[in-house]
Amino acid sequence: MKKILTIALVLCSFSTLKAQVGFSYLHSDVVSTLGISSNPQKRFWAEARLTLDVAWQDVGPELVTFVNVVKRKDFDFFVGAGGRFNVLEGVILPAVGFQIKPIESKPNLAIHAEAMFIAGVNADVFKGSIGLRYFLRKKEK
């Protein structure tokens, strides 16, 4: 119950922020995730994720920070590091990914792909994933 309240509090706090926020879904054969990111339009940004699994006891957080190496209007390439807890617990180093905004009329929608190496407590894992990200931000004038 404490976890649910903490997650609800974090989600509600995002509505009071004036920063841009991104929501993502990343699918992987290893473990898929739902994420909330800080402003990925900036050079440095971060994402908090929850793993999706059939069993609730296997759901765990993943925290990753990124730096945009290549930044264009419709393409971003980034690298990062972070950590995972509970399932596949360990240090994420490195995480490498890109996002493409394929629809010009929908600049808030991006296709996102990522690869990461998890130096785990019980085992080392290479995880690749692909998904979607949607940005909540004010329209540019």
DSSP 16: H
The percentage of the chain sitting over the pLDDT mark of 70, rounded to a whole number, equals 83
Residue 112 lies in a domain: yes
Q: 22-51, pLDDT tens digit by residue? A: 899 999 887 889 999 987 778 999 999 998
Residue 105 structural domain: 19-136
Is the alpha carbon torsion for 23, 17, 64, 67 positive or negative? positive
Q: Which residue do the tokens 């980034």 mark?
A: 78
Q: How confident is the model at residue 3 (pLDDT cuts 50, 70, 90)?
A: very low
| CATH (domain of 92) | 2.40.160.20
User: Could you tell me if residue 9 is inside a domain?
Assistant: no
Identity of the residue numbered 29: D
User: What is the chain's mean pLDDT, rounded?
Assistant: 83
The tens digit of pLDDT for each residue in 81-117 reads: 999 988 778 999 999 999 999 999 998 899 999 999 9
